[in-house]
């Protein structure tokens, strides 16, 4: 049940509620209580009156002002002892500096509230710069569901935070000290950390390509001797930037990579050939110095018309905190490219359609393989949770080899982009992926659906 707040300008500390609503909330005998909104709370007198509609709460204006309570929000109510809690109260940490929260960015963030009626409560977008630590107040923007826009104001600290920007260790230490496990995505992890954490689980390790941390060119040659090919990947790269593939061809060494330079050549796949190992090592020593890299076993993954194919599974947590599958998109890399990223010119296709088209599977065969992939991706997400990672939104990248074996390529945890759903023209998947983090934040804020609720 959601409530609308009506200000009371006559009384100083009252909360007026309809008898039926009071009964549903267990407040029919309550006469005094504490009204809480985020980090602020004050004593109130509970008054039961039939003068109000069942979905209205009349709150003394002095209380509204002290709580910094937005009147345009649609609230749900939870009762915990003597506390009457208005919420959910969710913060979206979107920037470091206040000036970077631009009108355009606010417009983009409206898409998180496409299904606001499922979330309800007060949703504020803010920057670290907007936080007043001493008073625990935030200068930010609150979503107005009536006008479908953000309104600037000052608000208490919220209960749960959906982090959408990188922050320093010092800031993260402060945020965790205040919000504890009510903040997500609270941790980022790179490719090497993912491998180290997951290889200890037998049900996952057999799906991981052999991976080591790069230290010297000789490490790459060890892989070449064993597999004839090796992939070198930056630990924290996105969109395939910096990925290299080296292989042997007769007496030659062939190096393929995406050009990272600016200008018209940026992102273009390039190939270099070497007859002398020293010259190849020189390239490694020159290129692999600015950041850390892993070396990875090659996989004979499925290809279509010489394009590598992998599958992005959108995995998210719901309002109960459980991982669930949102959708699957197949990505076809540019012909001859070492990566499958759409940003480099690759193509997208609905995952189920790609399984049927490439593997020539029946409808039942597609269902069985998809179910296997989803179950595996769910296991990966759950095991990462056991490692202490509090994420609510992950992009799990899987590949299939020619024998149908599933390989875990990567887990994208730095803001996986749901616009991949729009690449296959699936707006329902896109908005579902946008809404789920807000529902998980609602759960963290203490407003999971209770028994008997829809």
Distance between CA 104 and CA 106 in Å, rounded?
A: 5
Strand order in the sheet with 183-184: 149-156, 137-144, 122-132, 89-95, 160-163, 183-184
Q: What is the CATH number of the domain that holds 373?
A: 3.30.470.20
Task: Please check whether residues 304 and 435 belong to one and the same domain.
Answer: yes
Task: Please check whether residues 78 and 95 belong to one and the same domain.
Answer: no
**Partners of 211 in beta bridges:** 296
Q: Is the dihedral of CA 189, 192, 193, 198 positive or negative?
A: positive
Task: Please check whether residues 338 and 418 belong to one and the same domain.
Answer: yes
Q: What integer is the mean pLDDT of 247-269?
A: 72
Return the higher-pLDDT residue of 424 and 302. Answer: 424
Structural domain includes residue 110 = yes
pLDDT at 262 over 80: no
Q: What percentage of the chain carries pLDDT values higher than 90?
A: 75
Task: Please check whether residues 179 and 229 belong to one and the same domain.
Answer: no
Summarize pLDDT for 48-101 with one digit per residue, the tens.
999 999 999 999 999 999 999 999 999 999 999 999 999 999 999 999 999 999
Of 86, 109, 136, which closes a domain? Answer: 86
- Look up the domain containing 62 and give its range: 4-86
Average pLDDT, the chain: 91
Q: Please give the distance of CA 216 from its chain centroid, rounded to a whole number.
A: 34
Q: What integer is the mean pLDDT of 286-312?
A: 87
Q: What is the CATH number of the domain that holds 17?
A: 2.40.40.20
Structural domain includes residue 428 = yes
Which pLDDT does position 452 carry in this prediction? Answer: 46
Which pLDDT does position 257 carry in this prediction? Answer: 82
Whole-prediction pTM:
0.89
Confidence of residue 338 (pLDDT cuts 50, 70, 90): low
Structural domain includes residue 201 = no
Summarize pLDDT for 153-188 with one digit per residue, the tens.
999 999 999 999 989 999 999 999 999 999 998 778
Distance between CA 358 and CA 327 in Å, rounded?
A: 19
Burial class (CB in 10 A: 0-12, 13-18, 19+), 320: exposed
Structural domain includes residue 197 = no
Which pLDDT does position 304 carry in this prediction? Answer: 80
Summarize pLDDT for 401-435 with one digit per residue, the tens.
988 899 999 999 888 889 999 999 999 999 999 99
Task: Please check whether residues 365 and 242 belong to one and the same domain.
Answer: no
Which pLDDT does position 239 carry in this prediction? Answer: 57
What's the number of domains the chain is made of? 4
Task: Please check whether residues 236 and 312 belong to one and the same domain.
Answer: no
Q: What integer is the mean pLDDT of 183-199?
A: 90
Which pLDDT does position 97 carry in this prediction? Answer: 96
Structural domain includes residue 234 = yes
Task: Please check whether residues 9 and 82 belong to one and the same domain.
Answer: yes
Of 283, 298, 313, which closes a domain? Answer: 298
- Look at the chain and count its residues: 454
Which pLDDT does position 154 carry in this prediction? Answer: 98
Distance between CA 172 and CA 151 in Å, rounded?
A: 26
Task: Please check whether residues 319 and 281 belong to one and the same domain.
Answer: no
Q: What integer is the mean pLDDT of 268-280?
A: 85
Confidence of residue 238 (pLDDT cuts 50, 70, 90): low
- Secondary structure in 3-state letters for the chain: CCEEEEEECCCCCEEEECHHHHHHHCCCCCCEEEEEECCEEEEEEEEECCCCCCCEEEEEHHHHHHHCCCCCCEEEEEEECCEEEEECEEEEEEECCHHHCCHHHHHHHHHHHCCHHHHCEEEEEEEEEEEECCCCEEEEEEEECCCCEEEEEEEECCCEEEECCCCCHHHHHHHHHHHHHHEECCCCCCHHHHHHHHCCCHHHHCCCCCEEECCCHHHHHHHHHHHCEEEEEECCCCCCCCCEEEEEECCEEEEEEECCCCCCCCCCEEEEEECCHHHHHHHHHHHCCCCCEEEECCCCECEECCEEEEEEEEEEECCCCCEEEEEEEEEECCCCCCCCCHHHCCEEEEHHHHHHHHHCCCHHHHHHHHHHHHHHHHHHHHHHHHCCCCCCEEEEEEEEECCCCEEEEEEECCCCCHHHHHHHCCHHHHHHHHHHHHHHHHHHCCCCCCCCCC
Q: What percentage of the chain carries pLDDT values higher than 70?
A: 93
Task: Please check whether residues 304 and 346 belong to one and the same domain.
Answer: yes
Return the higher-pLDDT residue of 345 and 452. Answer: 345
Structural domain includes residue 255 = yes
Lowest-pLDDT range, 28-37, 114-123, 208-217, 264-273? Answer: 264-273
Which pLDDT does position 159 carry in this prediction? Answer: 98
pLDDT at 363 over 60: yes
Structural domain includes residue 368 = yes
Task: Please check whether residues 305 and 432 belong to one and the same domain.
Answer: yes
Distance between CA 152 and CA 127 in Å, rounded?
A: 12
pLDDT at 146 over 50: yes
Neighbour-count burial for 382-399, b at 16+ CB within 10 Å, e otherwise: ebbeeeebbbbbbbbbbb
Structural domain includes residue 432 = yes
Task: Please check whether residues 26 and 98 belong to one and the same domain.
Answer: no
Return the higher-pLDDT residue of 340 and 56. Answer: 56
Task: Please check whether residues 236 and 286 belong to one and the same domain.
Answer: yes
Of 281, 298, 315, which closes a domain? Answer: 298
pLDDT at 263 over 70: no
């Amino acid at each position: 049940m959601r409530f609308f707040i009506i200000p009371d300008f006559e009384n100083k500390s009252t909360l007026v509620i309809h008898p039926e609503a009071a009964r549903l909330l267990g407040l029919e005998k309550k006469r005094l209580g504490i009204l809480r909104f985020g980090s602020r709370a004050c004593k109130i007198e509970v008054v039961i009156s039939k003068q109000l509609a069942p979905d209205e709460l009349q709150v003394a204006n002095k209380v509204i002002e002290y709580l910094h309570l937005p009147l345009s929000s649609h609230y749900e109510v939870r009762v915990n002892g003597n506390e009457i809690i208005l919420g959910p109260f969710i913060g979206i940490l979107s920037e470091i500096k206040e000036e970077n929260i631009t009108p355009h960015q606010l417009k983009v963030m409206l898409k998180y509230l496409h299904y606001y009626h499922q979330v309800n409560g007060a949703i504020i977008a803010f920057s670290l710069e907007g936080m007043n630590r001493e008073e625990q107040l935030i200068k930010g923007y609150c979503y107005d569901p009536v006008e479908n826009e953000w309104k600037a104001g000052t608000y208490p600290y919220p209960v749960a935070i959906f982090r959408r920007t990188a922050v320093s260790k010092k800031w993260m230490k402060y945020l965790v000290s205040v919000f504890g496990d009510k903040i997500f995505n609270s941790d980022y992890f790179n490719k090497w950390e993912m491998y180290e954490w997951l290889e200890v689980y037998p049900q996952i390790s057999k799906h991981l390509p052999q991976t080591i941390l790069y230290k010297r060119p000789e490490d790459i040659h060890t892989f070449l001797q064993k597999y004839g090919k090796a992939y070198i990947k930056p630990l924290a790269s996105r969109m395939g930037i910096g990925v290299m593939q080296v292989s042997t061809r007769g007496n030659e060494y062939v190096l393929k990579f995406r050009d990272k330079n600016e200008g018209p050549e940026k992102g273009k796949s390039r190939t270099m050939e070497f007859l002398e190992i020293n010259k190849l090592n020189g390239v490694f020593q020159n290129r692999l110095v600015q950041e850390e890299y892993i070396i990875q076993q090659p996989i004979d993954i499925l290809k279509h018309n010489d394009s590598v194919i992998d599958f992005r599974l959108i995995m998210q947590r719901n309002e109960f905190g459980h991982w669930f599958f949102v959708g699957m998109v197949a990505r076809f890399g540019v012909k001859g490219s070492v990566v499958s990223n759409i940003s480099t010119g690759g193509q997208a296709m609905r995952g189920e359609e790609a399984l049927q088209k490439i593997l020539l599977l029946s409808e039942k065969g597609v269902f069985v393989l998809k179910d296997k992939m989803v179950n595996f991706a769910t296991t990966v997400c759950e095991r990462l949770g056991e490692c202490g990672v509090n994420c609510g939104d992950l992009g799990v990248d899987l590949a299939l080899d020619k024998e149908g074996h599933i390989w875990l390529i990567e887990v994208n945890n730095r803001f996986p982009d749901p616009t991949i759903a729009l690449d296959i023209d699936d707006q329902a998947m896109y908005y579902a992926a946008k809404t789920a983090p807000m529902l998980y934040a609602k759960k963290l804020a203490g407003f999971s659906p209770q028994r008997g609720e829809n």
